[in-house]
RNA sequence: GAGCCAUUAGCUCAGCUGGUAGAGCACAUGACUUUUAAUCAUGGUGUCCGGAGUUCGACUCUCCGAUGGCUCACCA
């Protein structure tokens, strides 16, 4: 490693009392900065290190111990715990996917290097070369014959045994959370694997991954309040997307036939253990398919992902056993509401009778709610949270489904289903509305709702109607919340546990 | 947006009925060449979240604020 020839001259910054900050008064911080200053003064500034010839990882050393025993390896990582016993020491080196114990002794390293090693701190990043062996107590280890400080850690890490528990700090300083809480790292590795397997599954089936605008002048494709931003040179307000749906269906019109997008949506709504203002949506469209096909597709997709990523379709979410293997139950909203409440909405013919029926069982509804809105309210209030094993809930009212084909047999309902697991919605799919005249009417209906004060009603998208006028094949569409899927697979209680950097208030 | 709860050393947490604070880890010094939450001895950790008030005296009581958590609302 090259060292700067002028290294002997610099003075420690904090030696000047004028720029001594309050923070540096802390004993531990001061000592670590002093150690760094000492290294600099001796021409050994660790921050001049630019590379290290790493040729192995800690997990590989464990996995292939039999063939690596007695062989030299070169690894690098963070010192996470130390047991110094005079002229010999052990420490744990953590790298990206594991840790290994390192044995450092003065006669292997030489006096100078060993003394430098003893001055290193927990949290320092080092590279080392040594031989793989097993200790008397049986622990796979590396006997170091060279250790190089690659970066100095100037702050003490959170406690080694209890880790970092303060939830606020864990989210705001996720890097610390990742350093000291191994299960957090596992969750995000799992998240990456889920996405990789999802893409593989779709690739095998001939889907094209596409990217559509996040920034636009119409926020369509869902019922939600958008974030508003401003473009300076165009001098116009723009929206962050709430769903990619209308763009993806334009691509179906364009003849791409099988497309999907995995990307961020933004909704200007409340934050909860199930909601983050930005979240990752997966939407897929396949021409010449309907929602029945999509049910088979979803069953296969989720159970395949579980098998590939978790090795099983039998999982436990927050203590509740869930079986993800196909087939899943399929039941209509009408059936499920009748099962749960005894009320058969199919036989209710007027909006007023529907409202009275809901009120009779104590479900709160708006005074002008229509039959379909009431049915949906009752479903959400009395059914959704009770569906623990994977269930396709089928045929939602037309009022809440402005982009979905109506059922040929019942114009009050649409060919739409939701995927419910553990009482939560994981996805939604439908036979896409491709009738431009009907679509325009639905947009106009939504526009009336907007004017009546419903900020979540869909915005009119004239160009989307124009696209449909050129002809869109019958198409099955699907949307799945990736964050919630990761929560399910990782057994995470809060959405924030599967987002590396969840949305937080700014500290004042 | 509402209610409840929390905030004390770098981290994890104690702190009684109001008398200006403790432990473990981490850190420092010393001992120790197979330890693994290493051990042993010695030592110092501090804007008690911020501000105001009550009081002779506030970590402790009251009010205001900040941040977070939970529940609810919102959110298909």
* DSSP state string for A31-73: HHHHHHHHHHHTT--GGG---------HHHHHHTHHHHBT-EE
Does residue A16 lie in a domain region? no
Rounded distance between C-alpha atoms, residue A287 and residue A297, angstroms: 14
Mean pLDDT calculated for residue range A315-330: 94
Provide, in whole angstroms, the distance separating residue A91's CA from nucleotide B21's C1': 35
| Residues A156, A202 within the same domain | no
| Residues A75, A46 within the same domain | yes
- Asked if strand B comes closer than 7 Å to A273 Cβ, the answer is yes
Protein residue nearest nucleotide B30, by CA to C1': A86
> Who contacts A467 (Cβ-Cβ below 8 Å, separation ≥6)?
A249, A250, A253
Provide, in whole angstroms, the distance separating residue A167's CA from nucleotide B5's C1': 15
| Residues A51, A159 within the same domain | yes
> Who contacts A40 (Cβ-Cβ below 8 Å, separation ≥6)?
A7, A10, A12
| Residues A402, A264 within the same domain | yes
- Asked if strand B comes closer than 7 Å to A224 Cβ, the answer is yes
Does residue A489 lie in a domain region? yes
Identify the DSSP state of A435: -
Put residue A111 in one of left, alpha, beta given phi > 0 → left and psi -120 to 50 → alpha. alpha
pLDDT tens digit sequence for A262-296: 999 999 988 889 999 999 999 999 999 999 999 99
Does residue A310 lie in a domain region? yes
**Of all nucleotides in the shown strands, which has a C1' nearest the CA of A272?**
B75
Q: How confident is the model at residue A492 (pLDDT cuts 50, 70, 90)?
A: very high
| Residues A99, A241 within the same domain | no
Provide, in whole angstroms, the distance separating residue A111's CA from nucleotide B23's C1': 37
Quote the domain boundaries for residue A59: 22-163
pLDDT at residue A78 greater than cutoff 50: yes
pLDDT of residue A508: 63
Rounded distance between C-alpha atoms, residue A337 and residue A345, angstroms: 8
| Residues A146, A236 within the same domain | no
Provide, in whole angstroms, the distance separating residue A366's CA from nucleotide B3's C1': 24
Provide, in whole angstroms, the distance separating residue A389's CA from nucleotide B17's C1': 54
| Residues A87, A120 within the same domain | yes
| Residues A129, A191 within the same domain | no
Residue A152: CATH number of its domain: 2.40.50.140
pLDDT of residue A480: 96
Burial environment of residue A392 by CB neighbours within 10 A (0 to 12, 13 to 18, 19 or more): buried
Does residue A214 lie in a domain region? yes
- Asked if strand B comes closer than 7 Å to A115 Cβ, the answer is no
Rounded distance between C-alpha atoms, residue A77 and residue A123, angstroms: 9
Does residue A113 lie in a domain region? yes
Protein residue nearest nucleotide B65, by CA to C1': A508
Q: Which of residues 136-175 of A touch strand B (CB under 7 A)?
A: 136-139, 141, 155-169, 171
Asked which of A163, A196, A211 is the last residue of a domain, the reply is: A163
| Residues A191, A146 within the same domain | no
Exposure string (b/e) for A175-211, b if CB count within 10 Å is 16 or more? ebbbbbbeebbebbebbebbbebbeebbeeeebeebe
Identify the DSSP state of A97: T
Tokens of A230: 């401003």
| Residues A57, A87 within the same domain | yes
pLDDT tens digit sequence for A208-241: 999 999 999 999 888 888 999 999 999 999 999 9
Rounded distance between C-alpha atoms, residue A294 and residue A433, angstroms: 15
Rounded distance between C-alpha atoms, residue A477 and residue A286, angstroms: 6
Does residue A377 lie in a domain region? no
pLDDT tens digit sequence for A102-143: 999 999 999 999 999 999 999 999 999 999 999 999 999 999
- What ipTM describes this predicted complex? 0.90
Q: Which of residues 483-502 of A touch strand B (CB under 7 A)?
A: 493-494, 496
Does residue A174 lie in a domain region? no
Cβ atoms of A202 and A210 within 8 Å: the answer is: no
Residue A437: CATH number of its domain: 3.30.930.10
pLDDT of residue A9: 34
Q: Which of residues 17-36 of A touch strand B (CB under 7 A)?
A: 22, 25-28, 31
pLDDT of residue A25: 57
| Residues A144, A97 within the same domain | yes
Mean pLDDT calculated for residue range A411-439: 95
Cβ atoms of A446 and A402 within 8 Å: the answer is: yes
Cβ atoms of A382 and A389 within 8 Å: the answer is: no
Asked which of A163, A196, A215 is the last residue of a domain, the reply is: A163
pLDDT tens digit sequence for A237-268: 999 999 999 999 999 999 999 999 999 999 99
Mean pLDDT calculated for residue range A52-81: 96
pLDDT at residue A19 greater than cutoff 50: no
Structural domain count of chain A: 2
Percentage above 90 pLDDT, chain A? 81
pLDDT of residue A324: 97
Question: How, if at all, do strands A406-407 and A72-85 pair?
Answer: unpaired
Percentage above 70 pLDDT, chain A? 95
Cβ atoms of A308 and A300 within 8 Å: the answer is: no
Rounded distance between C-alpha atoms, residue A59 and residue A77, angstroms: 12
pTM: 0.91
> Who contacts A505 (Cβ-Cβ below 8 Å, separation ≥6)?
none
Q: Which of residues 406-425 of A touch strand B (CB under 7 A)?
A: 418, 425
Q: What is the layout of strands, in order, in the sheet containing A416-421?
A: A208-209, A258-266, A278-287, A475-481, A424-431, A416-421, A391-394, A329-332
pLDDT tens digit sequence for A38-60: 999 999 999 999 999 999 999 99
Asked which of A95, A130, A163 is the last residue of a domain, the reply is: A163
pLDDT of residue A456: 83
pLDDT tens digit sequence for A158-210: 988 888 998 989 999 999 999 999 899 999 999 999 999 999 999 999 999 99
């Amino acid at each position: 490693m090259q060292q700067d020839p002028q290294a002997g001259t610099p003075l420690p910054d904090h030696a000047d009392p004028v720029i001594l900050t309050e923070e540096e008064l802390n004993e531990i911080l001061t000592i670590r900065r002093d150690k760094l200053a000492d290294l600099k003064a001796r021409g050994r500034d660790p921050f001049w290190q630019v590379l290290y010839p790493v040729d192995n990882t800690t997990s590989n050393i464990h996995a292939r111990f039999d063939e690596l025993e007695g062989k030299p390896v070169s690894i690098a990582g963070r010192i996470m715990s130390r047991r110094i016993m005079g002229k010999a020491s052990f420490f744990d080196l953590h790298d990206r996917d594991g840790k290994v114990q390192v044995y450092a002794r003065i006669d292997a390293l030489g006096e100078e290097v060993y003394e430098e090693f003893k001055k290193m701190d927990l949290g320092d990043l080092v590279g080392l070369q040594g031989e793989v062996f097993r200790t008397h107590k049986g622990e796979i280890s590396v006997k170091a014959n060279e250790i190089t400080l690659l970066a100095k850690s100037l702050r003490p890490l959170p406690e080694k045994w209890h880790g970092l528990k303060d939830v606020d700090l864990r989210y705001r300083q996720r890097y610390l959370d990742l350093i000291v809480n191994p299960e957090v790292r596992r969750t995000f590795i799992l998240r990456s694997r889920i996405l990789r397997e999802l893409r593989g599954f779709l690739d095998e089936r001939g889907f094209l991954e596409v990217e559509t605008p996040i920034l636009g002048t119409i926020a369509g494709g869902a019922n939600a309040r958008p974030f508003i931003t401003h473009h300076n040179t165009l001098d116009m307000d723009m929206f962050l997307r709430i769903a990619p749906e209308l763009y993806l269906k334009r691509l179906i019109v364009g003849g791409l036939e099988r497309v999907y997008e995995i990307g961020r949506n933004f909704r200007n709504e409340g934050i909860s253990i199930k909601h983050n203002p930005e979240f990752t949506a997966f939407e897929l469209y396949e021409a010449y398919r309907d929602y029945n096909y999509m049910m088979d597709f979803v069953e296969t997709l989720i159970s395949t992902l579980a098998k590939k990523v978790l090795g099983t379709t039998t999982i436990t979410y927050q203590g509740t056993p869930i079986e993800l293997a196909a087939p899943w139950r399929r039941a209509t909203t009408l059936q499920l509401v009748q099962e749960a409440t005894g009320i058969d909405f199919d036989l209710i013919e007027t909006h007023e009778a529907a409202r009275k029926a809901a009120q009779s069982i104590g479900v709160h509804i708006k005074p002008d709610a229509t039959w379909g809105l009431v049915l949906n309210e009752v479903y959400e209030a009395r059914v959704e949270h009770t569906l623990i094993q994977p269930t396709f809930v089928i045929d939602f009212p037309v009022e809440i489904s402005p982009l979905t084909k109506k059922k040929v047999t019942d114009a009050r309902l649409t060919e739409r289903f939701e995927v419910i697991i553990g009482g939560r919605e994981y996805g939604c799919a439908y036979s896409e509305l491709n009738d431009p005249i009907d679509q325009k009417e639905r947009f106009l209906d939504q526009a009336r709702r907007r004017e009546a004060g419903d900020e979540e009603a869909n915005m009119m998208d004239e160009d989307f109607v124009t696209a449909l006028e050129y002809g869109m094949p019958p198409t099955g569409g699907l949307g799945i919340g990736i964050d919630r899927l990761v929560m399910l697979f990782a057994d995470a209680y809060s959405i924030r546990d599967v987002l590396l950097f969840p949305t937080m208030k700014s500290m004042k």
